[in-house]
């Protein structure tokens, strides 16, 4: 997993316009998962205002359940929240 603000090591690199360039295709930052730094397929808006892909959120919630924790926002650790799918 990548960290927020770092570029992914899987063939992407920052470009001049603030996005990432993958195989000569420019990808704007707003389409990048803020946790994995991968292109989002199903963006979800968290209460903290961050965007992550639904698959990332599902993995995080599965990990929370393994440790007996309720699902929480990975940026604020606030539990019992709802998130919404963006268009």
Residue numbers of the domain that contains 46: 12-85
**What is the tally of structural domains in the chain?**
1
User: Which pLDDT tens digit goes with each residue over 34-67?
Assistant: 999 999 999 999 989 999 999 999 999 999 889 9
DSSP code of 41?
A: S
Residue 33 belongs to a domain with what CATH number? 3.30.40.10
Strands (DSSP E) along 1-87, which ranges? Answer: 12-14, 20-22, 25-27, 43-45, 51-53, 84-85
3-state secondary structure of 46: coil
3-state secondary structure of 26: strand
User: Quick check: 24 and 18 in contact, CB under 8 A?
Assistant: no
pTM of the prediction? 0.62
Residues in CB range of 30: below 8 A, 6 or more apart: 51
User: Which pLDDT tens digit goes with each residue over 29-39?
Assistant: 999 999 999 99
């Amino acid at each position: 997993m990548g960290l927020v603000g770092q570029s992914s090591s899987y063939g992407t690199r920052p470009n001049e316009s603030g996005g990432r360039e993958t195989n000569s295709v420019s990808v704007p930052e707003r389409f990048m998962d803020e946790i994995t730094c991968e292109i989002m397929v199903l963006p979800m808006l968290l209460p903290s205002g961050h965007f992550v892909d639904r698959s990332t959120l599902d993995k995080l919630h599965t990990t929370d359940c393994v440790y007996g924790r309720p699902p929480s926002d990975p940026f604020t650790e606030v539990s019992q929240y709802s998130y919404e799918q963006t268009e």
